[in-house]
Amino acid sequence: MTQPLVFITGASSGIGQALALRFHQAGYRLALVARRTSEVKSWADAHQISASSYEIYSADVAVVDSIVAAGTECIARQGLPDVVIANAGISVGMDTAVREDLDVMARTFATNNLGLAATFHPFAQGMTERRSGTLVGIASVAGIRGLPGHGAYCASKAAVISYCESLRGEMRPSGVRVVTLSPGYIDTPLTRSNRYSMPFLMQPEDFAERAYQAIAAGVSYRVIPWQMGVVAKLLRALPNAVFDKLLAGRPRKRRQTEAGQ
């Protein structure tokens, strides 16, 4: 029996690598996508993962033709995946009054939104015809309510949640599952530059375990850890005046951080 296959973007660090290791431990073959492919190879060697168990694809998810080509190559070399995880993303602070930050916003949307859809694109038709498969979008609790100085990132992750919800309804008749995962604060390069407290901070391995269980169960949406889901709901319920006062003076992230690109 052929081992199942998982396709993961953003596999050069953080959540992407943790998910890759967890799926490998579960017996999956790996299709790992990153711009920094040498880091993926070093990681695989360090974990003594057999060369026959994985393939590495070089792609930039912000460039549609690049990530679509990686997906097409994966199908040709390894077959149609059972699970596709659109994990690659960037977080950048922005100021609407600064002209250059409009380009920051465009890059964020290109990576976090168009890149996510382009990651799914090569596999959607094949999964529909096979009538099985799981598409996983990595969102964020930051998509539940906008945070000062993080308009691009929060808006992009809110769009991930809505896009995956729409896609779930579209794919349901074909038997293809769509799972949305919203991480809280995970100890990765994406969060280490944050200059504020990060409640319920998780290690990537702990997130990967809970994410794997959620994906295997085929849940439609889950916040990990669940405590951050409670916090997010409370923030969503706060009146605007209270919310604005609570976050007044929150520092703005200026340095771009890319998650496993």
Whether the Cβ atoms of residue 189 and residue 14 lie closer than 8 Å to each other: yes
Catalytic residue ranges:
153
String of DSSP letters for 161-217: HHHHHHHHHHHGGGT-EEEEEEE--BSSTTTTT--S--TT-B-HHHHHHHHHHHHHH
Q: Give the list of residues 6+ apart from residue 169 with CB closer than 8 angstroms, or none.
A: none
Distances (CA, A) of 154 to 72, 105, 125, 145, 212: 30, 11, 30, 7, 24
